[in-house]
Structure 1
Amino acid sequence: MSSTTTIFDCKLLDFPKNHQLNGNLTSITNGKEVPFDIKRIYYLYDVPGGNSRGGHAHKDLDQIMVALSGSFTVTIDDGNNKQSFHLFQPYQGLLIPPGLWRDLDTFSSGSICMVLASELYDEADYFRDYEEFLKYKLL
């Protein structure tokens, strides 16, 4: 568990971009561009305009969020500070360590958010109540 992480532990990662006349290619490799072993990949799409996603924190899960198409904003909250990241490049990802609340919003039409996760899905890893998250951060 990581109750000591802050917004300053998040960072934007630039993935290799291979420019070609017939289109660009970006590859992502465990242990190279990603500082953890990827155990799960999922993606969000068709988010209706004005809706938000996220609204939770993880105890042990590391994530990288990538805007594969379109754009969206990720707001990170450590209980004391907040910082927003606008993701819009498919060769750039936001590393989010455990112990940080995240909200996703301002999805553009046709946006796709891919998430690389360090662990398999485990409901016990989630904080879904903000007040419980704040208590955890104060420990």
Structure 2
Amino acid sequence: MEKTTRQNVTSTVNDLHRIEIPKIKEPRGNLAVIEKDCIPFEIKRVYYLYDVPSDASRGGHAHKSLYQFLIPLSGSFDIRVKDGENERLITLNKPDIGLLIVPGIWREIENFSSGSVCLVLASAEFNEDDYIRNFEDYKLFKSC
């Protein structure tokens, strides 16, 4: 997957999509598996959000080149995504369906249910230079 700055600037909310995670269903419980071709990038970082108050918001930024895959391991939450012109609200509430967020998309995660856990798989290790943390700066980035 090519990751150039120009591609990132032209990303839209329509480039985001849900991916069903392969699962094995058994009477003893389900097993979801993420392996090589499940998501379109190599996983370089894994983290999770938990104990987030229902009235709190996480995110509030965009990435220049980072891909992320968000999975609701428990509970539910909403992801508000913007591309500078369009906005979508996506609810995640099934642990076998995640959301692929491509570079160049502003995201805010909100409306966390009690006990929710959001697992994030990322295409790179933490790099502050990849973040756009101010929405006005983000709009300038998108207009390039």
1:37 to 36, 39, 42: 42
Structure 1 length as normaliser, TM-score? Answer: 0.98
Taking the TM superposition and a 5 Å limit, the aligned residue runs for 1:1-139 are 1=5, 2-30=8-36, 32-139=37-144
* Alignment coverage as a number of residue pairs: 138
For 1:82 and 1:17, locate their aligned partners in 2 and report how far apart those are by CA, in whole Å.
31
- Segments of 5+ residues of structure 2 without an aligned counterpart are none
* TM-score, normalised relative to structure 2: 0.95
Compute the RMSD of aligned alpha carbons.
0.6
Q: Which stretches in structure 1 are left out of the alignment for 5+ residues?
A: none
Identity fraction in percent: 47
Moved over 4 A (4+): none
